[in-house]
Amino acid sequence: MKVLAWAKDEEIRAKGSSGGFVTAAMIAALEKGLVDEVVLVKKKNAYEGVPITTNNVEVVKECIGSMHFVPLNLSYFIKSGVKTALPTKPCDARAIIERAKRNQFNIDDVYMVGLNCGGTFNPVLAREVVLSFFEIEPETVIKEEILKGKLIIESKEGKKSVKIDEIEEEGYGRRNACKICDVNIPHMADLACGNWGVLNEKATFVEVFTDKGKEFFENAVDAGYVEFREAKKEEIEIREKIDKAMIKLAKKWREKLDEINDLDRRERLDYYIRMFEKCIGCNACKEVCPPCVCEEAKCVSMNDEMAGYKIPLYNLVRLLHLMDSCIGCGQCEDVCPVDIPLTLIHKRFSERILRKLDYIPGIDMRTPPFQETKILFD
Amino acid sequence: MIESVCIGCSIGCSLYVGDRIFHRKNAPHNEGKLCKFGMDLLKYYSREKAECKVDGKNVELNEAINEAKKRLEGYSGDEILFLTSCTATNEELAALKLLAEKFDAKCCFYGYGNALFSLKDIENFGRVILTFDPFVSYPLVARRVLKVKEVYEVGFVDGRVNSIILNPENPNFDDALALLDENTIALAEYSPLSTVYTPFLKEVVKSNAKAIVFNPTLNANFAAMLGFESFENKIDFDKVKAIYALEPELINGAIPSPELLIVQSAFSNGWCDKADVVIQSDSFHQKRGSVVNAEGRILINNGKSEQGVEILEKIGGFEQTASKVLETLNVNTIKEFSTVEITEEFREKEFKLKGEGKYYLTTKSNPFLWKGIDHKNFVELSVEDVKELGLSRTDRIKIGDKELCYKPSNIQKGYIVSEILISQLKGLTRVDISNLHY
Ligand SMILES: Cc1cc2nc3c(=O)[nH]c(=O)nc-3n(C[C@H](O)[C@H](O)[C@H](O)COP(=O)(O)OP(=O)(O)OC[C@H]3O[C@@H](n4cnc5c(N)ncnc54)[C@H](O)[C@@H]3O)c2cc1C
Ligand code: SF4
Ligand code: SF4
Ligand code: SF4
Ligand code: SF4
C-alpha cells in the first residue's frame, strides 16, 4: 500500500516535517490504546534532540518535525513487555530487529514507524557548515530542512539553501556512516514515511509493509486523525528514482572514503594497527552498538591489558562478532574519542562474508549465520 | 536524562546522565565523546554516600549545618582555611568564596587556571609539546593532537610520539623550550604529581608561548577566576586551626588534622572519616549549576539540586551567590558553551627527587582519573628489567609494602610506570623491586 497521508489537525499538518502523519498517527496509537508509550526525539535546539519515552499526547506534539543534525539511535529505549511505537530511520529499524533477535523485547510489541533517511549530520560540524556555507550565526537557526538535495537553513533573516553535494565536496556534510548507508527506505519497518514522491503538497508519502503497519495506519484513519489518498504512478516513480540515485551515491562514497582499497595485505595490516593502536579502551563503541547486548561481553572479558598486542583483543573480538551483525549505524564512530573510522572498518570486515552467506543483518528475523553455526555445534 | 558534565578532569565532557550514560553529541568541546572515566561515571556516582555527622554521631542535615556554623564562629579568620578540590559548580565555589570573605579567611583551591585556547584550536598549530600521554590522561586531547604535524612528549619514558626524555636526577627542559615558537602550543598538566614539569610551565608562561593547562579536577578555572589561592602555595598548615573542605576528595596527599575539620561532601571518604562535622550534599550530577572548563568554556549541569549552595549560604547568612557568579564571569546571563577569558599568574613549584631505590617511579597518566574506579593493580616495567628480575608471567612483585602485578612495556630500563604507586608515594621517587616468585 502506497499513499499520501496527512494529519487532519491543521496545526499538526502545518508543523509536520512532511504532512504530520507520523505525529498524528502516534497520537492516535496512544489514545486508542494501540500502544502503551512512544519513543520520540524532543527538540532542544536545531542541533540537539533528546530521546524521550512518553504517553502524553501534548509531549508528542512537541516532538514534531525531522532533525537532521541529531544522529541518534532510538532502539535502546524500548522496554521489554511494553507496547511501543517509535519513528525509525533504517538504522533504528535494523537495530530494533537485531535487538529483538537477542531477546531484548518481543518484536510483536514494537511498531516501527519508518522514516526514509538520506542521512544525519554531526551537530558540531553542522554548526560549522551553517557558519561557513550559509554565513549564518549557528545559534540563530530556527529551522533546518533537507529538500531535493539541498540543505535549507531558516533564521531571522529568512531562508537560505546550499546543495549538499557542494558541502560534501569540502569534506563536511553527513556522517561518514550515512554517506555509505545504502538503505534509505526502511522496508524492514512496519511502514515507511517520507517526503520523496510528494510534489508541492503538505503530505507524507507512506508505504505500508506489514500487518502491524496496516493496523497502525488504519487505527489513525479510523480514529479520525489522519486523511489520505492513493499515491499516483508518477509520485511512486519519482520516489523510486531518488532512492536508486541515493543508493548509487552511497556506493560512490563507499569507494571514495575507503583509504585502503588499493593497498596490499601487509599495508592493510599496518593500517589496522595504526588505527587500533589509538584505541584508549573506553568501551564506548560497544556500549552504543545496538546489536551488542551481552551482559558479560567477551570483547571486554577476553581483553588483556597486560598483553600489549598491537591491536587490542577487544577490537579484534568486536570485528569478529559484528561480521554478521553490524547494521552500519555509525554510533560507534560517533562516540569514538580517537576518531577511528569504525563504521567503514566494520563494513570492510563484513561485506564479503555476508555476500557469501547471502545474509543482511537487521532486515528480517533470521538468526545471524555465526549464531546459527553456534547453535548447530551446541 | 540530565544534561551533565563529567567531573573526571578539567575538560569537563558534556554528557547525559540517566539509567545509563548517554553521549551528548552537540557539545562543542567533546562532541559527545568520553574517555573511560566518563563512560564509567555511574559507578562513581553509585558509591557509598557521605552521612551527616557531628563528632561521629549521625545527625540531620540542619543540625550539621548549625553545628558547622557554631564551631566555625569559634575561630578567627586567620585560623580558618576554606579549601576545595574544585569538583564543584561555579555557584558552590562562589558561595565558598563568599563564606570565606565573611570570616575574612583564606580560600584555597587545587589547580591552575589559564584557558585561552579551545581543544579544537590545537589542530591549527604546527607543533604540540605535551607533558602527558594523551592516550592515557585527558584522552579527549588525543584526537586533536593527532591532527598536528609535529608532536613531542616531554617525559621520563619513551612515549609513542617524538620523545624528549628527561634525566630524573636533573630534568632539563632546554630541548623542549627551544621548540617553542609562534606555531607551537604546549599542553601541560598541573597537579601535585606533575610538579616536575613546573619549571617548564613557568618558562612557557614567561615566554608568552601558547599553552593549555589541564587539571585533574573539574572546575579549577573558575576557582582561579574567583581569586582562590593555590592550595600548595606556601600554606602554613601549622597555623590553621579550622578547615572547611568542600568536596576535598581529589586533593592528593595526607589529610590534615586541624582542631576543627568540617567536610561538605557527597560521598563517604577518608576526609569524612576524620571530620568533626560532615555535611552530606548531593552528588554532582544532581546539581543545578555551571562550571568553567580548561578551555574557559561555560558548561551547564542541569540537575535540580541547589543544596550545595544553600548549605554554604546558610552557614554564612548571605544570598548573593548567583550575582557573584555572573560578576566573576563578567556576563549578564549564563550561556552554555560560551567562553570566558582568564589568565592567572603562574605559581612557582619546587621539585625534589626523593628515595634511594634503583628504579625511577613515574607515571604516564593522571592517577586521579581512575581513582576509586576499577583500579588496575599493576605497574609497567621494561622488557630488560623483567628479564633481569627473572620474572615469569604469573609472578607478582613487591614495591615498598605493595604487592603488584606487572606488565612488560616498551619503556626504558630502570623505570616503573605506575598510576597507583605514584599517587600513593606522592610524586617522582626512586624505589626497589623484589620478585615474589608466585
Ligand atoms: C534524519 C532524517 C532524514 C530524513 N531523510 C529523508 C529523506 O532523505 N527522504 C525522505 O523521503 N524522507 C526523509 N526523512 C523523513 C521525513 O523528513 C519525515 O520525517 C517524514 O516524511 C515524516 O514526516 P511527518 O510530517 O509525517 O513527520 P512528523 O509528524 O514531523 O514527525 C517526525 C517524527 O520524527 C522524529 N524524529 C525527528 N528527528 C529524528 C531523528 N533524528 N531520529 C529519529 N527520529 C526523529 C520526531 O520525534 C517525530 O516523531 C528523514 C527524516 C529524518 C529524521
Ligand atoms: S546510517 Fe543510514 S539510516 Fe542511519 S542515519 Fe545514516 S543514512 Fe540514515
Ligand atoms: S559496529 Fe558500529 S556501525 Fe556497526 S552496528 Fe555497531 S555501532 Fe553500528
Ligand atoms: S570507542 Fe574508540 S577508543 Fe573507545 S574502545 Fe572503541 S575503538 Fe577504542
Ligand atoms: S576526558 Fe576528562 S571530562 Fe572527559 S570523560 Fe574523560 S575524565 Fe571525564
Residue stretches of chain B with pLDDT short of 50: 343-352, 366-375
With b for 16 or more beta-carbon neighbours within 10 A and e for fewer, the B406-418 pattern comes to bbbbebeebbbbb
Give the number of other CB atoms < 10 A from CB of residue A165: 11
Say whether domain A121-173 belongs to CATH 3.10.450.750. yes
Query: Where does a domain end: B214, B233, B258?
Result: B214
Angular region, A328: left φ>0, alpha ψ -120 to 50, beta rest: left
Identify whether residues B299 and B380 lie together within a single domain: no
Question: Would the CB of A287 count as within 6 Å of ligand 4?
Answer: no
Structure confidence at residue A374 (pLDDT): 62
CATH number at residue B375: 2.40.40.20
Which phi and psi (to 5°) does residue B278 adopt? -115, 125
Residue B80 lies in a domain: yes
3-state secondary structure chain B: CEEEECCCCCCCCEEEECCCEEECCCCCCCCCCCCHHHHCHHHHHCCCECCCEECCEECCHHHHHHHHHHHHCCCCHHHEEEEECCCCCHHHHHHHHHHHHHHCCEEEECCCCCCCCCHHHHHHCCEEEECCCCCCCCHHHHHHHCCCCEEEEEECCCCCCEEEECCCCCCCCHHHHHCCCCCEEEEEECCHHHHHHHHHHHHHHHCCCEEEEECCCCCHHHHHHCCCEECCCCCCHHHCCEEEEECCCCCCCCCCCCCEEEEEECECCHHHHHCCEEEECCCHHHEEEEEECCCCEEEEEECCECHHHHHHHHHHCCCCHHHHHHHHHCCCCCCCCCECCCCCCCCCCCCCCEECCCEEEECCCCHHHHCCCCCCCEEEEEHHHHHHCCCCCCCCEEECCEEEEEEEECCCCCEEECHHHHHHCCCCEEECCEECCC
Q: How far is B107 from chain A (nearest CA, A)?
A: 36
CB pairs under 8 A between A and B: 85
Residue stretches of chain A with pLDDT short of 50: none
Cβ contact, residue pair B16, A280, below 8 Å: no
Identify whether residues B210 and B231 lie together within a single domain: no
Identify whether residues B23 and B95 lie together within a single domain: yes
Identify whether residues B100 and B224 lie together within a single domain: yes
Nearest CA in chain B to A74: B22
Nearest CA in chain B to A278: B135
| Atom from ligand 5 closest to the CA of residue B8 | 7
Identify whether residues B250 and B153 lie together within a single domain: no
Per-residue pLDDT reduced to its tens digit, A141-163: 999 999 989 999 999 888 999 99
Structure confidence at residue B376 (pLDDT): 59
Per-residue pLDDT reduced to its tens digit, B152-180: 998 887 777 888 888 877 788 999 999 98
Cβ contact, residue pair B143, A339, below 8 Å: yes
Interface of A with B (CB under 8 A): 44-45, 47-48, 50-51, 70-71, 76, 122-124, 127, 277-278, 280-284, 287-288, 305-306, 308, 334-339
Nearest CA in chain A to B406: A306
Structure confidence at residue A113 (pLDDT): 98
Contact of A82 with A34, CB cutoff 8 Å: no
Structure confidence at residue A377 (pLDDT): 54
- The amino acid that residue A206 corresponds to is V
Per-residue pLDDT reduced to its tens digit, A3-17: 999 999 999 999 999
CATH number at residue B192: 3.40.50
Range of the domain at B247: 2-112+219-329
Structure confidence at residue B341 (pLDDT): 64
Residue B131 lies in a domain: yes
Identify whether residues B83 and B176 lie together within a single domain: no
Is the Cβ of B47 closer than 8 Å to some Cβ of chain A? no
Mean pLDDT, chain B, integer? 86
Identify whether residues B229 and B309 lie together within a single domain: yes
Question: Which residues of B fall within a CB distance of 8 Å from A174?
Answer: none
User: Angle at Cα B308 formed by Cα B305 and Cα B311, nearest 5°?
Assistant: 120
Contact of A260 with A60, CB cutoff 8 Å: no
Structure confidence at residue B345 (pLDDT): 43
Residue B97 lies in a domain: yes
Is the Cβ of B28 closer than 8 Å to some Cβ of chain A? yes
Q: How far is B407 from chain A (nearest CA, A)?
A: 5
Q: Please give the distance, rounded to the nearest whole angstrom, from the Cα atom of residue A289 to the centre of ligand 5.
A: 21
Cβ contact, residue pair A278, B135, below 8 Å: yes
Identify whether residues B108 and B223 lie together within a single domain: yes
Q: How far is A213 from chain B (nearest CA, A)?
A: 30
Structure confidence at residue A370 (pLDDT): 82
CA distance linking residue B397 with residue B391, whole number of Å:
8
Residue B334 lies in a domain: no
Domain count, chain B: 3
Identify whether residues B129 and B94 lie together within a single domain: no
Identify whether residues B134 and B181 lie together within a single domain: yes
Residue B351 lies in a domain: no
Nearest CA in chain B to A122: B25
Identify whether residues B170 and B127 lie together within a single domain: yes
Query: Where does a domain end: B161, B184, B214?
Result: B214
Identify whether residues B96 and B228 lie together within a single domain: yes
Residue B387 lies in a domain: yes
Structure confidence at residue B165 (pLDDT): 84
